[in-house]
Structure 1
Amino acid sequence: MNTLLEEALNNYKILDPQIEFIRHNENETYKLKDTVSNNQYVMRRHKPNTDFSLDIFGDKKHSVDLLISEMNILKAISESTEILVQTPIRNNNSEFVTVLSDGTPVTLLTWINGNTVEEIELTDDILYKIGEMVGKFHRFSKSWSKSKRLHRYSYDKSLLIRVISKIKTGIELNVLSNEQFKIVENTVNEIINRMNELDLQKNSKGIVHSDLSKSNLIVNNGQITPIDFCLCGNSYYYMDLGSLFSHFDKHEQQSSIINGYKSIIDEDINAKYIETFFVFQIILYISTHIENAARWDWFNDAFNRWCKKFFIPFSNNIAFIIIS
């Protein structure tokens, strides 16, 4: 066991822990089991992998305020909804965030048993329940977010300005051509135009998850649990639908998700705005990985595919998502 992990464990009442490394992306993540009580936990040491940068958010390292707000969001979801989420565990000082001697913050959450959506066979019922869960989360957020001023990331026009500046460095790095960058720039300008339209709609923004990938959705006894709220923040609710559609790309899958969502959120859903945050997700991914793209053989082909299939049609207002 490394010294910092041992230091982190000393701040919690976990007896004779079994430790399993899970992954290292935006966090270094471990599964812990208290072998006396058999309780299981997730411990996150909030230090991003060198391939993952938070600079675009203006957060070179995870701030304590950001993490406290994430813990409070999870606590509120757990207390105010029927959604099963990982709940935060306080340390020996009754605090949600532990700061280690090297300055790295640590948080502890309950463990959720089950399989990720990417590990199981997708059925209409599962997809419907995914949409239903997101609808319940948004219903909660629409009422809860109004009275809260949380220190969280914002997926907004200001972020897009930083995103486009970051992607432009790809020209200097010989990752992108001027023509490729121009396509991205046109796409970002159209995203901003559509955000301006959404700003005219009542109650269009609040706390969103922002990263609803298949690996962040757990199936537990038929119930869908969203995990990894580390990148949650303030944005338009369509952000989560765009996130889902970027991972569930078949029309039948998307229709089932929307049917589940609309069973909770009785509003018209416009595919135009799902497309907006679908391409936002891809562009955000490019901006956070542009410095690594030069050593990825697949990047240029992927980028050209994104341009042809999504960015150019989007900029020209040609629909590529149809919902029914």
Structure 2
Amino acid sequence: MKPNLVNDILRQYDMPYAKADLIRHNENLTYCIDDKYLLRIHKSKPDFTTVHYDNNVDSIKRRENELKFLIHLKANGLNLQLPIKNIKDQFVTVHKDGTVATLLMWLPGRILNKEDLTDKTGYHLGEMLGRMHKAAEGYCASDVIHYDHHLCQKLSYFLSIYYDNGKLDKVHFESMTRALGLIAYRLKQSDSIFTHSDLSLSNILLTDKGLVPIDFSLFGSSSPMLDFGSLFSFVDEASCRANIIKGYEEVTGTRVNESEISYYVSFQILLGIVLHYESWFGEAWFTKRLPEWCCDYFDQLSGMG
């Protein structure tokens, strides 16, 4: 990223001399600004695009809705990062070259890792998720990603392109598209709420005030089970998973149908596969992992594993 672009954007927040330290580059370029703010420049790295998810949603409106969602969650008691407006009193900054950027308050803490995943932490994860879903109640927006049966159909379409181009063999193509059909059916039967949709360990911050979800850039509308699918994609221990469910149920007062979660773990894996396919294709680890995913997850949904 050209330094003058970062500086140009920071001028829109009246911070022309701020120090910008690059954190990471995935779907966004993220910078720590003077240890006080988080700058997100919404330019994905090569071969990493969320166009598969977008459902023809206007990108600027989606960013605005994400930040308004954060404000809504904060107003309803959730501890998280709040957005900062630019000098034009706007939450979303559009550079003269069309680059879109947003700024959030910096939140001290560290991201979770596998070593943190004790039963106690699992319970706190469930509490965090329950509080987030309860805080999301009452929020309204249409210009968001919809993780629904239509998106399953879109993912199947992209997989068919990879198959037709010889980048995906028939066995794995059929395994994934069959799973997407089953997931689509489940989504049709489910009530939708606004979800984080990308609760990897790197998007959960451990702070002195507890666990905090961060990076809502892929937030959208779906079954609440989608967020369980995110967590369970990274949490393997049965006891930790059980405590996530326990914490969630005690906060929300609702029962979790554990048998449903496997569909959403598969959905999250499939979302990741389609999102990253161009960069993962040909990698030795992916060539080994894809058959395992098909056998251990996708085929299990239809009883073929």
Length-normalised TM-score, structure 2:
0.94
Deviation per CA, 1:294-324, whole angstroms, max 9, x where unpaired? 3312212111000111111112288xxxxxx
> What letter is aligned with 1:298?
W
Structure 1 residue 180, shift from structure 2 partner: 1.4
Is structure 2 residue 143 aligned with structure 1 residue 180?
Answer: no
For residues 103 and 196 of structure 1, what CA distance do their matches in structure 2 show?
37
> What letter is aligned with 1:150?
S
Higher mean C-alpha displacement, 269-278 vs 118-127: 118-127
Tell me, which stretches of 5 or more residues in structure 1 are unaligned? 34-38, 199-203, 319-324
Structure 2 residue aligned with 1:86, among 75, 81, 106?
81
Is structure 2 residue 154 aligned with structure 1 residue 159?
Answer: no
For residues 62 and 127 of structure 1, what CA distance do their matches in structure 2 show?
36
SS at match of 1:56: coil
Contact 2:149 2:188 in 1 (8 A): no
Higher mean C-alpha displacement, 148-157 vs 107-116: 148-157
Q: For residues 55-66 of structure 1, what are the structure 2 equivalents within 5 Å?
A: 55-58=51-54, 63-66=59-62
Deviation per CA, 1:103-161, whole angstroms, max 9, x where unpaired? 011100001111111176333222211110110111122x313xx13311000011000
* Aligned position for 2:206: 219
Let me know the Cα RMSD of the aligned residues. Answer: 1.9
* Aligned position for 1:36: none
Structure 2 residue aligned with 1:258, among 224, 229, 245?
245
Deviation per CA, 1:177-198, whole angstroms, max 9, x where unpaired? 1121111121111112222332
For residues 272 and 317 of structure 1, what CA distance do their matches in structure 2 show?
17
Is structure 2 residue 223 aligned with structure 1 residue 236?
Answer: yes
Structure 1 residue 172, shift from structure 2 partner: 3.3
Q: 1:58 to 1:149 in 2, by over 3 A?
A: closer
Structure 1 residue 15, shift from structure 2 partner: 6.7
Structure 1 residue 209, shift from structure 2 partner: 0.2
Q: For residues 117-156 of structure 1, what are the structure 2 equivalents within 5 Å?
A: 117-118=112-113, 121-141=116-136, 143-145=137-139, 148-156=140-148
Tell me, which stretches of 5 or more residues in structure 2 are unaligned? none
Is structure 2 residue 176 aligned with structure 1 residue 171?
Answer: no
> What letter is aligned with 1:80?
N
For residues 170 and 40 of structure 1, what CA distance do their matches in structure 2 show?
43
* Aligned position for 1:267: 254
Is structure 2 residue 298 aligned with structure 1 residue 298?
Answer: no
Q: 1:219 to 1:242 in 2, by over 3 A?
A: same
* Aligned position for 1:23: 24
SS at match of 2:284: coil
Structure 1 residue 6, shift from structure 2 partner: 0.8
Structure 1 residue aligned with 2:67, among 61, 71, 78?
71
Contact 1:47 1:61 in 2 (8 A): no
For residues 69 and 137 of structure 1, what CA distance do their matches in structure 2 show?
16
SS at match of 2:251: coil
Structure 2 residue aligned with 1:52, among 27, 39, 48?
48
Is structure 2 residue 303 aligned with structure 1 residue 307?
Answer: no
For residues 121 and 157 of structure 2, what CA distance do their matches in structure 1 show?
39
Deviation per CA, 1:273-305, whole angstroms, max 9, x where unpaired? 211111000111111122223331221211100
Length-normalised TM-score, structure 1:
0.89
Query: % of aligned pairs identical?
Result: 30
Deviation per CA, 1:24-83, whole angstroms, max 9, x where unpaired? 1110110001xxxxx6000001111112111212479972111110110011111121x2
Q: 1:287 to 1:236 in 2, by over 3 A?
A: same
